[in-house]
A and B are shown apart, each in its own frame.
Chain A
Amino acid sequence: MAVQASRNDLATAAIFVAIGGYFVLESLNYTLGTPLRMGPGFMPIALGSILILLGLVVAVGAFTHADPEEDRPFPWRGIALVLGTIIFFGATIRGLGFIPVVFLSALGTALASRENNPVSAVIIAVALTILCFVIFVLALGLQVRWFGPWLPF
């Protein structure tokens, strides 16, 4: 028989402990200071420890109940395309320039939805590129190259 435990709570606990743990370990490199003159490490150690503690409480609590609902599927395609696009945007905005990057990013995110097919994604991407160009470059005067140095023209 499977143990009745809330997987959501266990995952939350893991995130809490991981984040708290990182901050505590990293703070050990900083001066702790005295109560009179607290050093840079004082608050993060205190807060990180509290977070670890809270994570443990959540973990213990996880065994008292099961998740109320069925697991929803992870939107892998959406996560990969949306987050990938954002990173792509950051990595290439200086090299490729505003127009190509916005077009490709719009295309990438549009494809994150299962309801878009390649044709509708291209239409959305063209429309969004024009819209963003008008708003940010023409109207607001964002200082950015239209086409970047990586492109031959």
Chain B
Amino acid sequence: MDLFASLALGFSVALDPWNIFFCFIGVLLGTLVGVLPGIGPTATIAMLLPITFTLSPASALIMLAGIYYGAQYGGSTTAILINLPGESSAAVTAIDGYQMARQGRAGPALATAALGSFFAGSVSTLLLAYFAPPLARAALNFGPAEYFSLIVLGLLVSIALAHGSIIKALGMIVIGLLLGMVGQDIYTGQPRFTFGFRELFGGINFVSVAVGVFGIAEILRNLENEQTREVMVKKVKNLWLTKDDFKRIAAPVLRGTVLGALLGVLPGGGHILSSFASYSAEKRLSKNPQEFGKGAIEGVAGPESANNAAAQTSFIPLMTLGIPAHPVMALMVGAFILQGITPGPNVINDEPELFWGIIASMWVGNVLLVLLNLPLIGLWVKMLSIPYRILFPSIVLFACIGCYSINLNLFDIYAIAVFGLLGYLLIRFGCEPAPLLLGFVLGPLLEEHLRRAMIISRGDPTVFITRPISATLLALALAAVILALLPSIRKKRDEVFVEED
């Protein structure tokens, strides 16, 4: 099937009225949680997973994907209007976007963010459609050794990209991997680390971990220091860009798209890194770098395009290899499995409607987002005035009820409290939560592929370095760690992330 026939198939699924409806719900919710600081797409998708169980696979995944890239949009609105990134990837947008808002140019800043994101989203959706099938074909030849190496690569690259201490990030991954081992052993059926509780035989519920570490921990952090947000811009006018603005943003949007599309494929915070990278690139390339930080429209256009492009291309590893690139994608794996589909290279052949439907829906979703965000901006500004003291009790309750409704298992609720506390403590002590969740999802896969590879090779561990693809992947993983540890790179990396403050 060629690209056009496939895309036609995809659009026939995505343009089904029901699916448009769910896509709309998804991007609407995504924008909402993106706009509201203190709740992100990870916690939202985790809470909504149980609900999607009743939907058809295509509708469910289209909606969840919509939440994710919708949140990238919404996050920028908050960043521009109140200088508080609603989403971590929008942190860079706050630098120049907020300054523009202070100069009365909130309208153009929001329009730039929306149009840049739309362009980037459309282009990277095409890239996804173009590159996913050949990658999936290649992945079909992967054996357990290759998968093991690929997972190792994914985990190690994700720490190279995370900010903060590398050792701590490594530790978080290992904690995640260990937590993933709880439950019955895949080969012998022996229960491990269950404290004798039958409820833990199936493993710790993924949704509880995600909601605890990302939702509850974040709430506890916000309660450390309560402050009221101030919305400076009550009314946004002049949403249209001038000809001069268009000229200024064209090149940054293009560069941001390319940068984001490339970095988005990498595991870890690809979309966060890409917005930082794009900002530094624009600053370096600009003829008047002194304008940056004081309301340069390029500083909004580049990063916004980059993070949206990355949000789309981060679906590539998931859809072709079944390997999630970051926590949200890990939740998508959960959604696939809830629907009885194993994500991986087979999806494209076994479920072409689903595969192409999701891709086409991203384009539909991007159109919906522009429609939602520009004309309805007034509504989102109102949303921002919802005080946090009302918001967080709803998050806690939704988390409890949502988790309970998956299996009606009380253990899942207690697990939220345990992981909320653990997550809060670790975050407070300077560890990033994302690697933990990634490790948790990939842990069982890592163990399974390692053990299977060893059985196939008759106990010969050199199999990982004698098979060329596996060896290449491991070499890349090693290179990523060495690069991250090199003093000069470390300095660069710190510099990139320092601009967040």
Which residues of A come within 8 Å of B, CB atoms? 8-9, 11-12, 15-16, 19-20, 23, 26-27, 30-31, 34-40, 42-44, 47-48, 50-51, 54-55, 57-58, 61, 72-75, 77-79, 82-83, 85-87, 89-91, 93-94, 102, 105-106, 109-110, 112-116, 120, 124-125, 128, 131-132, 136, 140, 142-143
Number of chain B interface residues as a range: 35 or more
B178 touches A40 (CB 8 A): no
- A85→B396 CA distance, assembly (Å): 9
- CB <8 Å contact, A54 and B425: no
The answer to whether the Cβ of B231 comes within 8 Å of any Cβ in the partner chain is no
> Among the listed A27, A50, A124, which residue makes an inter-chain contact with B393, where contact means beta carbons less than 8 Å apart?
A124
Indicate whether B420 reaches chain A with its CB closer than 8 angstroms: yes
Does B190 lie within 8 Å of A40, measured CB to CB? yes
Q: Are A82 and B220 in contact (CB under 8 A)?
A: yes
Instruction: Report chain A residues within 8 Å CB of B175.
Output: 16, 19, 51
Contacts of B187 in A (CB 8 A): 40
* B223 contacts chain A at the CB level, 8 A cutoff: yes
Q: Tell me the complex Cα distance, A12–B192, Å.
A: 25
Q: Output the nearest chain A residue to B402 by Cβ-Cβ distance.
A: A136
Known: A86-B396, A93-B404. A78 touches B220 (CB 8 A): yes
Contact A131 B394 (CB under 8 A): yes
- B220 is contacted by which of A54, A75, A91, A94 (Cβ under 8 Å)? A75
Residue in A15, A82, A90 whose beta carbon sits within 8 Å of that of B396 in the complex: A82
Residues 213-242 of B, flagged 1 when their CB comes within 8 A of A and 0 if not, give: 000100110011110100000000000000
**Chain A CB within 8 A of B378 CB:** no
Say yes or no: A11-B429 contact (C-beta < 8 A), given A78-B223, A86-B416, A86-B417. Answer: yes
User: DSSP class of B's interface residues: helix, strand, loop or mixed?
Assistant: helix
Expressed in whole angstroms, the minimum distance between the Cβ of A21 and any Cβ of chain B is 11
B64-96 interface with A by 8 A CB criterion: none
Closest to B400 in A: A89
B residues with CB within 8 A of A: 51, 54, 165, 167-168, 170-171, 174-175, 177-178, 181, 185, 187-188, 190, 192-193, 216, 219-220, 223-226, 228, 387-390, 392-394, 396-401, 404-405, 408, 410, 413-414, 416-417, 420-422, 424-426, 428-431, 446-447, 450-451, 454-455, 458-459, 461
Chain B, residue nearest A136 (CB): B401
Contact B226 A47 (CB under 8 A): no
Residue of B nearest to A17 (CB): B171
> Do A83 and B420 have beta carbons less than 8 Å apart?
yes
Contacts A113-B392, A114-B226 known; A51 to B174 CB distance under 8 Å? Answer: yes
